[in-house]
Every structure is written in C-alpha cells, then in structure tokens.
Amino acid sequence: MLKILSASAVALCGLLLLGIESQAQTDFKVTLLGTASPSPRPTRFGPSTLVEAGDKKLLIDMGRGVPIRLWQLKVPMGKIDAHFITHYHSDHVSGVPDVWLTGWLSPPFGRRTTPFRVIGPTGAKSLMENLQKAYALDIRIRVADEKLPPAGVAVKAEEFSKDGAVFDEGGVKVTAFEVDHGDAIKPAYGYRVDYKGHSAVISGDTRYNKNVIKYGTGADVLIHEVGSARPELMASSEAVRRIIAHHTTPKECGEVFAQAKPKLAVYTHIVLLSSEKISEPTLEDVVAETRQTYSGPLQLGEDLMAFEIGEVVTVKPFGK
Ligand SMILES: [Zn+2]
Ligand SMILES: [Zn+2]
C-alpha cells in the first residue's frame, strides 16, 4: 500500500497543472473498477471501467469482481445501460455472467428488468449465446422459483467489425477503434466516449498503437494499459518477452501520451511480471520509465479511483 501511495504522489505532481481545485460540478465521470491484469491481487480486481455521462451508465469490460466494486459505489447493476467489451481474453469477460445474472436478482444491487445489452467486436453474440446455454438451469429455476422477470435476463448482443460509432444516446457517443494486441489476438478494440465536448478514451489491451494516438488526441482523459518486467527477466524468459510484446511498455506509453496530449494520462490494466527469483517492477519504476518520454500529467490508476471531467479533470481516489 505504501508503495502505491508514494508512486501516486510522484505521479500526482503533474496534476498541479490542471487547476484541480477550481472544478465545478460535472455530470461526466469515469471510475476505474478494476486495474489489474489476470494476476489475482486483493487490491486490484479484473479490468473494468464505469463511465457515467448524463443519465447514462456504461461499463467497459467486466473482469473479476465487478459486482463488488459497483456495489461499493452503490451503483446497481440493473442501472447499467450498456456493457462494452474490448476483446475476449478471459480477464476482460470473466465477470460477464456475474454482472448479467447477479444484476438480475431482486435485491437493490441488481433489479435489471430490461435486456442485458452487450456491445463488442465480433464474438459478443457467440459469447452470450453460450453463456445462456451454460446458465440455462439457473435462469429456469429463478424464473420459476423467484418469479424474476424474464426480460431482465434476456440478452441483446450487438457486434461490430470496424472503427466507428457503436452507441449514440442521450448525448453520449461511444466510438470503437481497433488496437493491436498481437497478431493472434483479434479482434481487439479501444473505446472513445464523447459527451458535451469532452472525452474519455480507453485503450483496451494493446501494444504501442497509432490508432490509440489518433482517437486519444486531445482527450480529457486517456486511460491506457501498461506492461513491464525487469530487463533481467526479459532477457531470461521467452514467455515474459511474449507477454510484454502484447502490451505497451511505460516508455512506449509515454510516447503515446506525448503525441496524444490528453489533459490527463491514466494507467490501468497494470501488468507487472516477476519470477521466483526476479521481482516485479515497482509502480515508481513504471512512472520513472514513463518520464523518459513524457512529462505531462500522469496518474497511476487504483481500483475505484474516479475522474470527474469538465473544464478541468479532477482525480478522486476512493473515499476522498
Ligand atoms: Zn487484459
Ligand atoms: Zn488481453
């Protein structure tokens, strides 16, 4: 915990430029629900980001633990308007059945009464069709026993296969853009959310990619994944080299941020690799390497950290 706090303090230095004290009320907020990769960590759950804009609530990816994080915020799963998927690595979708089915239950954390809307690249329909088969017994039992509304467990899956707008309602526009997560890991997309002249961009999982720069240019908040391993571990392990080649190193992220020039750059999906003999890089290491190529505002994400987006961007660690 101390490590995280001190690294955040390092990263926060850039925020002084943002004039964070004069923030007015805004109805555009992005909250990191989970900031880890597949690695099971008690303080960082699986990848997921909540976007609240006007009266819309959107989830981007649903990794491990989403219902827990949402309910820490007192956001009922039944109130989510649309569920977006960046790609089909299990760390990004393992929470889908949990959000779908737990969000249908009758306690206040659930209460969905309209279809579970999923928007993702090609594969979303097949994922949801197969989940419906896998959980058919639960669904049948709860309809018969608990009298839950069948409409709340119904599924509306929408797919896309190229860059473009995938959601445009209530003044909130979501644009999908293809990223590069590796030659065999397709499809893989990021999302840009535009609302009232402001924008939040989420890279999804990607290596250094020009399309992130294209769609991230001028964004209020550019939320980017990052992957790092110590040089001696990279040198000694083919598997580590392969994993890091599927992600963006801190130095490369700095190059993306330096070109896109967001008001605030944020790290999420923090992949830190280690072995039995070689420790993982620290968060301070990640920030220091980023600083080789980028000197602008930067924030290391933490679970439940929120970003209020208006004329300025305000960073709100959970509970503060
Ligand atoms: Zn991932
Ligand atoms: Zn991935």
Tokens of 92: 């990004």
pLDDT tier for residue 320 given thresholds of 50, 70 and 90: confident
Ligand nearest to the CA of residue 36, numbered in listed order: 1
pLDDT tier for residue 288 given thresholds of 50, 70 and 90: very high
Q: How far, in Å, from the CA of 38 to the mean position of ligand 2?
A: 9
> What is the pLDDT, as a whole number, of residue 7?
43
Q: How far, in Å, from the CA of 146 to the mean position of ligand 1?
A: 36
In this prediction, what percent of the chain has a pLDDT beyond 90?
91
Q: How far, in Å, from the CA of 311 to the mean position of ligand 1?
A: 31
In the sheet that holds 48-53, the strands lie side by side as 155-160, 116-121, 82-84, 56-60, 48-53, 28-34, 306-309, 313-316
Q: How far, in Å, from the CA of 64 to the mean position of ligand 1?
A: 11
Q: How far, in Å, from the CA of 133 to the mean position of ligand 2?
A: 25
Q: How far, in Å, from the CA of 185 to the mean position of ligand 1?
A: 11
Q: How far, in Å, from the CA of 167 to the mean position of ligand 1?
A: 23
Ligand nearest to the CA of residue 246, numbered in listed order: 2
| Between 287 and 1, residue with greater pLDDT | 287
> What is the pLDDT, as a whole number, of residue 24?
58
pLDDT tier for residue 18 given thresholds of 50, 70 and 90: low
CA distance 97 to 258: 38
pLDDT (tens digit per residue) in 230-277: 999 999 999 999 999 999 999 999 999 999 999 999 999 999 999 999
The residue type found at 191 is Y
| Between 64 and 9, residue with greater pLDDT | 64
Q: How far, in Å, from the CA of 105 to the mean position of ligand 2?
A: 30
Q: How far, in Å, from the CA of 177 to the mean position of ligand 2?
A: 15
Beta partners for 56?
53
| Between 249 and 4, residue with greater pLDDT | 249
Q: How far, in Å, from the CA of 271 to the mean position of ligand 2?
A: 10
Across the chain, what does the average pLDDT equal? 94
**Residue 2 predicted with pLDDT over 70:** no
Ligand nearest to the CA of residue 225, numbered in listed order: 1
- DSSP letter at 74 equals T
pLDDT (tens digit per residue) in 214-235: 999 999 999 999 999 999 999 9
- Which one, of 34, 44, 61, lies nearest residue 280 by Cα? 44
pLDDT (tens digit per residue) in 87-145: 999 999 999 999 999 999 999 999 999 999 999 999 999 999 999 999 999 999 999 99
Q: How far, in Å, from the CA of 205 to the mean position of ligand 2?
A: 5
Peptide bond between residue 187 and the one before it cis (omega within 30 degrees of 0): yes
Asked whether the whole model's pTM tops 0.85, one would answer yes
Beta partners for 314?
308
**Mean pLDDT across the stretch 157-166?**
98
pLDDT tier for residue 1 given thresholds of 50, 70 and 90: very low
DSSP element (H, E) containing 141: helix 136-145
Cα 27 from chain centroid (whole Å): 19
Q: How far, in Å, from the CA of 91 to the mean position of ligand 1?
A: 6
